[in-house]
């Protein structure tokens, strides 16, 4: 199989398979959690659940001072990583073309050169995240195999994308094919690792905030 065939597979059957697993897997995981249900809360509400939900959604997106003061670099790196990944994924024109094709919606992107630079920062930030984790005994102890896997499948698409764009190591066609395949790997793995947080972060924060809000306590 040459690079062209690999690329054709990645853009054809490969993408279909990955998308099916991604969508089905994510919905399955989210639905499964939500369907666990909770016992009816019979006490009188002491505050607004919805307000609490909204508050927590925002609050947990911002750094908590006590944690930030302890490890400012790790927290900042977390932001760089997430925002970088977000920009590269959603604001690169060829990616927007993909969303346009898949979902029928598009939006303006950023200059490719800028995306290139942000991609490089994202890669460094992902590597830094690994270093922070390895250097922290407690975190290293808490890290499961699934976490290593989640890290690797997140790094690969950014790395291969960067290398394809800059024509590093391998011919462009092959690197592009590997880039698409690495994205497909991410899509297949995501629903079954902690990467589900790309969606569940919202539902989880909302739920906890809702509970707390109803009870009139801080969350």
Partner 1 sequence: MDDLSLGERLRQRGVSRRGFMKFCAATASMMALPPMMIPKIAAALEQAKRPSVIWLSFQECTGCTESLTRSHAPSIEGLIFDHISLDYHHTLQAASGDAAEHAREEAMQANWGEYLLVVDGSIPLGANGNYSAIAGISNLDMLKECAEGAAAIVSVGTCAAYGGLPMANPNPTDAVAVADIIDDKPIVNVPGCPPIPTVITGVLAHFLTFGRLPELDGLGRPKAFFGQSIHDRCYRRPFYERGQFAETFDDEGARKGWCLFKLGCKGPTTYNACATAKWNEGTSWPVEAGHGCIGCSEPRFWDAGSFYQALSVPFRDVGDTILAAGTAGLAVGAAAAVWNRKRKADAREKRDTITIKDLSKES
Contacts with partner 1 by CB under 8 A lie at 2, 4-5, 7-8, 11-12, 15-16, 19-32, 35-37, 93-95, 97-98, 100-102, 104, 109-113, 167, 172-173, 176
Q: Judged by CB, which is closer to partner 1: 6, or 81?
A: 6
Q: What is the distance between the alpha carbons of residues 108 and 132, in angstroms, rounded to a whole number?
A: 35
**What's the closest the beta carbon of residue 166 comes to partner 1, in angstroms?**
12
Q: How far is the CB of 27 from partner 1 (least distance, A)?
A: 3
Cα 206 from Cα 202, distance rounded (Å): 6
Retrieve residue 188's tokens: 């297949």
Gap between the Cα atoms of 156 and 165, Å rounded? 14
Q: How far is the CB of 36 from partner 1 (least distance, A)?
A: 6
Exposed/middle/buried for residue 187 (C-beta within 10 Å: 0-12, 13-18, 19+): buried
Q: Which is nearer to partner 1, 28 or 131 (CB)?
A: 28
132 or 207: whose CB is closer to partner 1? 207
CB of 88 to partner 1, least distance (A): 13
At closest approach, how far in Å is the CB of 26 from partner 1?
7
Cβ 208 to partner 1, closest distance in Å? 20
Who's near 86: CB < 8 A, 6+ residues apart? none
- Please say which residue, 14 or 84, places its beta carbon nearer to partner 1: 14
Q: Is 122 exposed, middle or buried (0-12, 13-18, 19+ CB in 10 A)?
A: buried
Of 19, 1, 4, the C-alpha closest to 175 is 4
Of 62 and 105, nearer to partner 1 (C-beta) is 105
Beta carbon nearer to partner 1, 69 or 100: 100
The two structure tokens encoding residue 9: 């597979």
- Contact, 131 vs 140, CB < 8 A? no
């Amino acid at each position: 199989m040459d690079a062209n065939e690999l690329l054709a597979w990645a853009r054809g059957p490969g993408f279909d398979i990955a998308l099916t697993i991604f969508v089905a897997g994510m919905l399955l995981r989210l639905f499964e959690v939500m369907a666990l249900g909770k016992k009816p809360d019979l006490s009188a509400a002491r505050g607004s659940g919805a307000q609490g939900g909204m508050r927590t959604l925002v609050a947990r997106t911002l750094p908590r001072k006590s944690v930030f003061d302890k490890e400012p670099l790790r927290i900042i790196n977390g932001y760089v990583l997430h925002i970088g990944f977000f920009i590269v994924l959603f604001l690169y024109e060829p990616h927007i073309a993909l969303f346009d094709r898949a979902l029928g919606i598009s939006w303006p992107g950023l200059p490719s050169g800028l995306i290139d630079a942000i991609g490089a920062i994202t890669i460094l930030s992902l590597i830094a995240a690994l270093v922070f984790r390895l250097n922290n005994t407690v975190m290293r102890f808490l890290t499961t195999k699934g976490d290593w896997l989640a890290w690797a499948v997140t790094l690969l698409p950014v790395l291969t994308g960067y290398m394809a764009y800059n024509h590093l190591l391998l011919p462009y066609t092959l690197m592009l094919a590997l880039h698409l395949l690495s994205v497909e790997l991410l899509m297949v793995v995501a629903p079954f690792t902690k990467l589900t947080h790309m969606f569940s972060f919202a539902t989880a924060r909302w739920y906890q905030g809702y509970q707390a809000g109803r009870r009139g306590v801080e969350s």
